Amino acid sequence: MNNFFERRYVIAGIFITFILLLLARLFYIQVVDDRYELYASQNVVRKFVQYPARGFILDRNGVVMVQNQPIYDIVVTPKQVKAFDTVEFCKLLGIDKDGYDKRMAKAVKYSPYRASVFEKQLSAQLYASFQERLSEFPGFMPVQRIIRTYPDSAAAQFLGYIGEATDAIIKRSGGYYSPGDYVGITGVERSYETLLRGTRGIVRSMVDSRNNVKGKYAEGIYDTVAVAGERLESSLDLKLQKFGEALMKNKVGSIVAIDPKTGEILAYVSSPTYDPNLLVGRERGNNAAALYKDPYQPFFVRPVQAYYPPGSSFKPLSALIAMQEGVITPQTTYNCPGYYVAGNRRIKCFHGEVHGTVDLSRAVAESCNGYFFMVFEKLVNGAGGRKTDTSYTKWRDNVAKFGLGTRLGLDMPNEGRGLLPKASFYDKVYHKGGWRYSTVISLGIGQGELSATPLQLANIEATIANHGYYYKPHLIRAIGDKKVIKHEYTVRNYVGVDSQYFEPVINGMQSVVDHGTAVGSRIPGIVMCGKTGTAQITNKVDNSVFVAFAPRENPRIAIAVIVEHAGQGATWAAPIASFMVEKYLRGSISKRPTGITPEYYMNSNLLPAITPKTPPVSKKPSADSLKKAASLDSLKKVKLKSIPVKQQNSLKETAMLPNRRSNE
């Protein structure tokens, strides 16, 4: 009897153990492991993601710059794939068997149970052919997506482009994006991605064993509606932007134009540029690869990423700081014998011109280096040589208030800071106490280690036009129907210079255009105040620089133009800027007394010759930063992004305006 009861307990224990194991397995299958739930539910209910229309981007006048075009991706769920005619399938999609195998292996690696993209961006015609035979290919489904088109093929560096989300983007999104999703990669598409992308919708449909949709699941009560992305209104004037791109065709450089009253950017030209439509469609990869190999770097966003020495365009800023610090007045004069004595060295004016006795306004108009060397010496050497670093730091802090050496907060990715060296930088180069004002005197005329982005140079002109303040530059002026704008773009940023000091400087800048170095670019009937610059680059042709604002009273546009390795500012940059200013203010170009025409500059080819790269040569920095060029390559501190070129005789065109024998 006892043996019977013992056997009964053993048998019962076996049954209980078996039941517990079975229950544990069922719990694991139904609760812990979702593979079977996914597999079972997808045999009956299929979720279809509804991708919303991406937000349009308009120019300041309501002209569409970017719009949408529907395309179709083919997605695959590997576990649902059954035997079918792969030869016919490949023929329909225009791929080969090896391509099929690679795509399928990638899909299996992602997940056998979840849908992923098999083939991207089918045309409407190709999709129609595939759709007719969809039932023959179980496991495959079409998904409609949205790509961008660019009606005017302009402003590529501003607009940026969208592309397939990378693994890193998917990870950062916390699972919002999946393989095959499109996301903003550069430009405004990236900066405003969360607004442009909208909100996805989900449609749940019943499907049969042949993958045919049989209707909505639960009458659609669990479906969600896709919400289109926000419309963005940019600050760009599309006509002005296209005009600027035409003027800079076959040239390396940049144009940035700003409305001083608002900080809105009117033109954002980076040259060479590219057609943004090349980065759309099934040939996008090949086109992108070709653009990346282009030695003139069309993907390089020069308005905010290229660093240039400001050259003489820096002189008005230097004068403003000196007046605010009380070291000069508008009446302060300097007798220029054609050179300046700094320490034990004699530094010539640009071509050794003898300017004679000049006051502030005339020094700006004639761009006298000696006058501004004198100004810099007073600022940096005022407390004596032993306190050079202290005085220099104060000078640097005043310059930084104008936005140099820092990011301005543009609503675009990858904005550069430029370079405004700290005293500690020179301490490392020359050792502490081993440098004086004469060591870095070239900074006083915008040379040496000082470098700025075109955006920063245009912003300085906006500051001068406003007599002492600027609004942060921005490219999006309104978001959605409510025309929202970020608060930071409505705040005035003061630079710490009293408004009374601007008039003497502006007088000189007007004289630059009226009868000075930029007289050839004078606009009939419009008072433009500007400053030419010829930024010297060691062993290369100088950069042509011009900055300006107009009109003098109630300014509506501030502009910076840089043409790399084109020579004097008056010959190339100034005429281009004058055409841009007149185009914006009048909508047309008048006949100029000098005979210059936009067409001449549009058709001129200044692309520098490409030479093989050579390893950098290390050399000990000299005691004179004037001789170091504007780059810090020799000091291995900053990489200036410029194109190797030959000397002046490599230029393919001659400017309509002759070079002027005056210091720029």
In this predicted structure, what is the pLDDT of residue 419? Answer: 96
In this predicted structure, what is the pLDDT of residue 625? Answer: 42
In this predicted structure, what is the pLDDT of residue 133? Answer: 87
Low-confidence ranges of the chain (pLDDT < 70): 1-6, 29-43, 208-214, 536, 538-539, 612-655, 658-664
In this predicted structure, what is the pLDDT of residue 111? Answer: 86
In this predicted structure, what is the pLDDT of residue 465? Answer: 98
pTM: 0.83
**Domains of the chain, earliest start first:** 45-234 (3.90.1310.10), 238-650 (3.40.710.10)
Neighbours of 51 (CB within 10 A): 18
In this predicted structure, what is the pLDDT of residue 345? Answer: 85
Q: Distance (Å, rounded) from C-alpha 204 to C-alpha 373?
A: 74
Closest CA to 466 of 442, 497, 489: 497
Q: Distance (Å, rounded) from C-alpha 305 to C-alpha 640?
A: 9
Number of DSSP helices (H) and strands (E) in the chain, helices first: 21, 22
In this predicted structure, what is the pLDDT of residue 626? Answer: 42
Strand partners, 560: 256, 547
342's CB contacts (< 8 A; 6+ apart) are: 373, 377, 437, 438, 441
Q: Tell me what the pLDDT averaged over the chain comes to.
A: 86
In this predicted structure, what is the pLDDT of residue 654? Answer: 65
Q: Are 537 and 446 in contact (CB under 8 A)?
A: no
428's CB contacts (< 8 A; 6+ apart) are: none
Percent above pLDDT 70 for the chain: 87
In this predicted structure, what is the pLDDT of residue 40? Answer: 52
In this predicted structure, what is the pLDDT of residue 98? Answer: 92
